[in-house]
Structure 1
Amino acid sequence: MFGFGADIGIDLGTASVLVFVKGKGIVLQEPSVVAIDKNTNQVLAVGEEARRMLGRTPGNIVAIRPLKDGVISDYDVTERMLKYFMQKTTGKKLFFKPKIIVCVPSGVTEVEKRAVIDATNEAGARTTYLIEEPIAAAIGAGLDIAQPNGHMIVDIGGGTSDIAVISLGGIVVSTSIKVAGDRFDEAITRYMRKRHNIMIGERTAEDIKINIGGAYPREKEVFMDVKGRNLVSGLPVNIKVSSEEIVEALEESVAAIADAVHGVLEKTPPELASDIANQGIVMTGGGALLWGFNKLIEKRTGIPVYIAEDAVSCVAKGTGSALDSMQMLERSQNTKNAYK
């Protein structure tokens, strides 16, 4: 149990929720899934326990992912999930309501922002602040965003890719697209079905992406044995797949992200573009670890591209670090217009 009223940072992701408690670091990382009994509307399980129920429930039980593409798709279930995670990290009863920072994608609307704030307040927050994913990722990557220098961050998560130029603690130019890690897995599954006539599961697609996936051709080709079900015979088969094939499978998806990076650079004010050309572009998120992705963007833009240390947890760390700079968050909403 942690101190009552401790400030909390929450990375509210499409696939998982990470909770950061001030003074303790990341204390919880669980899938954003809730299992509910449809007859009684009672919550049966949340997080990892609920994830194990996905696709294995009887008719009266439904396992729900209450967030889609980084935003709330089921308000009531999101509120209940947040309440459960807050109680799990701070103790059964919240004697003093905590201040909470919640991370949201840069492309969310005012209505979607209000939904996150209301759900968090209803779940037991004293005050709820929002921080946009690129800002959190930049802080987590160790960039000094408070200075009048341009920093470019490319955050590739599970549901969304956020690209932003940051200066003076705020976002100057940004875009958010719904092409990220999940879309890579879907592209691999589709390729295997079309090219090899075999059906593979989500988990196998992810293994292929991690082991031999790439956004750029490797100097030395690598191979992997893949098991799946033949669509003609219906029987299990084992085939050898090359890294070159997976580069081809992911070509369209990675090109969409590279196009988005190019589009943001085109809209960047000249002074900040000059800073970015000198300092380089920083990539964060699990998708940044796709082999050769930094090389692809470097080739496309002509600017050095670096992958942040511990790229996967940059957003969660940044959300937690932002607990110490509430004033910056309060004024960051107004900074977007500074260069317009």
Structure 2
Amino acid sequence: MKVGVQLPLHVETADGPAIRRFITEVEELGYDSVWLGDHVVLPETIKDASSYPYLWRFDASIDELFPRKSFIEAASTAAYIAGVSERLEIGVGVFVAPMREPVLLAKQLATIDVLSRGRLIAGLGTGWLREEFDSLGANYAERGARLDEYVEIMRTLWRDEQPVSFDGKFRSFEPLFCEPTPVRKTGVPLWVGGHTPRALKRCARFGDGWQAIELAPDEFGRHASTLDHHIEAQGRAGSDVVKSVATRLSLSPGADVAAAARTVADYAANGCDHLVVYTTPSRSIEENLDRFRTLKSALG
């Protein structure tokens, strides 16, 4: 099982040298990947806090989860990480694709994949924050259908044989060139985020991977089995889809690190191919690095 880490939010992440320091050490520690979240804007007031699908997992309010309402933009940051790393896979878990312009997103992802020499993983999700969609002029009600079509658009634009055209419900374009195309012939790997029945069926249709969030190891295993059933119903093999989960581990000073290591092993035993770890809020990049050093030592 691969193990990656989340670039910490709300600390020094708007600082290039701090990100470089974090990436360099994570790579030296032997982690497999580094991950980013995706928000473009956050409203002053989140009117429907219950729309955040994972709030119940945390002993915190929305304002406590997003204390500074500060996020560096995911695609730009992934491109920066590509330039300051050599080996790490670079993941976004997940792009809220329906609120983005799909042709531009396809171009951005292909470019990052080329600059990183084929190390990008693009998680995709429908999103949950209506106010964010409204600020970008994106249609919130149609976000599921748009995500499905946007995947078709991106994979069309990544074909080796160009020019390409597209005629869909939401977007159409006449023959055009969109180069360079991704390093991998199959395109940038697209991982579908979420564990609702609809998300699992969407992943079975077109996902290269599945990324859950905050599922306990046994829950993850049950959802992975359900996903395999859907994948096989599509005439695909379950092994063709990477199974991943992003989860918070308690790694702060005084925490039971041995218990965290056992949790990692439990995920592997329940069929996880790629674990993404993030930690409880910290005050600095260095504090996050201390926690990831501790975890790596415990994992051996």
More strand per residue: 1 or 2? 1
TM-score norm. by structure 1 comes to 0.27
TM-score norm. by structure 2 comes to 0.29
Q: Rg bigger for which structure?
A: 1
